[in-house]
Amino acid sequence: MSREIRAIRGGSFVAINNVMGTGVTLVAAFLLSKALGPKEFAIYSFCTSLTGVLRCLSRLGVNASLLTQKEEPQPEIYGTALTTMLVSSIVVAIPAAILIPFLGRFSHIPHLFWPGIATIILVPFHIISLPALTRLERQLKYKPVAIIEFTGQVVGQILAIALAFHGWGIWGPITGWSLRALFQSITPWIAAGLKPRLRWDPTVSRRMIKYGSGYVLATSLAQGRTLFLLAIVGRLFGQEAIGYMGLTLRAASLAAPFRAAISRVILPAIAPIAHLPAKLKEKINATVEMEILLSAPVTVIAVATYPYFVRLILGNSWLPTVELFPWIAAGSLLMSVHSAALSALYVRGYFAESICSTIISYMALLLALVLFGNLLGLQGGAIATLVVWPASWVIEVFAHRRLGISWSRNGVVWALAGTFACLTDIIGLWMLIPVSLIFAATYASIKARSVAMYNALFSRL
């Protein structure tokens, strides 16, 4: 079986896990928001975003270094990687704990300190499993990874919801995270057939960090966009607004389960062909088209059904999220155009370009948040995420200059069609006209890509 088909099949396991996991996350988010209310859900959203940034920083890009090595690393290398990342997680925790009070004051979240400290303490437990997960991903064994992650997610969310409804408040989700982190820190090692061993080799550690330093800064900046958005929203509109935006962002993840799966698989999948520009360009364009073709229908369905779920489960108290959701979901779909080019820059080590692109998008987001927020309130904050898309095209410029990769026309066209469809109820039914024209003009491409995906998934069974 070719590596390409193995990668696609592995990606299908991750995609299925992400779809089911997104469903669990969405249901849990609705139930937790109902139990916690907007103010405490704001703390929950802020802490989850903070966790994502700290986990990225603690990795130091060591896991990416392991993924992109040509030869299978020896067990001693995995031990050194584990030691390096655990030490890093402790180093990262100290300034993060010092900054918690400042973040609480800046974002108008008065009771952030102790939940934030608990979030920081859990970070090393998330790090422990990374070497084992990396080994499984190098071997494209995504089925056990999907089972472990989904099981941990379900068990943790059930405990979090139960405790939240029993009056534990924000400590219900934190207890659920603790159980999930403990479970997922042990089981990947069993699945990988390794034992977690601490080993220190300065030469190996420096070599991994040398590659990973640029990677960790680039990915941490990208991961921190949600935290940045929530912090500015809190500064402009208060703590409840963070709760509304946090639920909307979590619900919008329903629109991108396939993007998350493909982004995870693409790094080890394209590493062997990173030095072949023509082949790399072909695979990158195919990847962009595939993930948007899969994500756009799910996004449109999510936008159409979201208001009914909000009214049914949460009632009128969470209705502000209904106005935010179409803009956030459409912006997520548009940004998926750039994800494959970004991964190609990562695998070739062009981190400065990725960092520059992300900083430009941060500046555009801040400007758009202030401008649209002052004009349109919280809904303007959601519109700002859509406006950031033009600034993100810097990624494509760098990818073309460094790798010769040109953007996928089909991917952009299909993403625009999905965006028009998402905004139909807000702007007007006339938006369906360009959707119909785009579908008619690209019908042959859609059909060809669908057939290619089917053949890749189900051939050689």
pLDDT at site 16: 62
Q: What is the rounded CA–CA span in Å between residue 431 and residue 323?
A: 17
DSSP structural state of residue 406: P
Residue of 131, 127, 125, 126 lying closest to 195 (CA atoms): 131
Looking at residue 5, its pLDDT comes to 47
pLDDT in the model for residue 221: 86
DSSP result, 159-191: HHHHHIIIIITTHHHHHHHHHHHHHHHHHHHHH
109 within 8 A of 243, measured Cβ to Cβ: no
Between CA 149 and CA 208 the distance in angstroms is 26
* The pLDDT value given to residue 459: 56
For 222, how many CA atoms within 13 A lie in the half-sphere containing its CB? 22
> pLDDT value at position 272?
60
pTM over 0.75: yes
CA distance 92 to 335: 29
d(CA 109, CA 48): 14
Take residue 182 and report the two structure tokens written for it: 């403990």
Say whether 349 sits in a helix, a strand or coil. Answer: coil
Pair 201, 68: CB distance under 8 Å? no
- At residue 94, φ and ψ (nearest 5 deg) are -65, -55
Helix axes 409-422, 432-441, angle to 10 degrees: 150
Q: What is the pLDDT of residue 179?
A: 92
**Burial of 102 (C-beta count, 10 Å sphere; 0-12/13-18/19+):** exposed
State how far the Cα of 131 lies from the Cα of 194, in Å rounded to an integer.
Answer: 9
- Whether 300 and 256 have beta carbons less than 8 Å apart is answered as no
Angle at alpha carbon of residue 343, lines to 340 and 345, rounded to 5° = 115
Residue-range domain boundaries for the chain: 3-458
Nearest Cα residue to 81 out of 142, 137, 132: 132
Res 460: pLDDT: 47
The rounded distance, in Å, linking the Cα atoms of 244 and 345 is: 34
CA nearest 181: which of 162, 159, 211, 161? Answer: 159
Q: In tens digits, what is the pLDDT along the chain, a chain of 461 residues?
A: 444 544 455 555 555 666 666 677 778 888 999 999 999 999 999 999 998 899 888 888 787 777 767 677 787 888 888 888 888 888 898 999 999 999 999 999 999 999 999 989 998 888 888 888 888 877 767 778 778 888 888 899 999 999 999 999 999 999 998 999 999 888 988 888 878 888 888 888 888 887 777 778 888 888 888 999 999 999 999 999 999 999 999 888 766 666 665 655 565 566 666 666 667 677 777 777 887 888 888 888 889 989 988 988 888 889 899 999 999 999 988 988 887 788 778 777 788 888 888 899 899 999 999 999 988 899 999 999 888 898 889 888 888 888 787 788 888 888 999 999 999 988 888 788 888 888 888 888 888 877 776 676 565 44
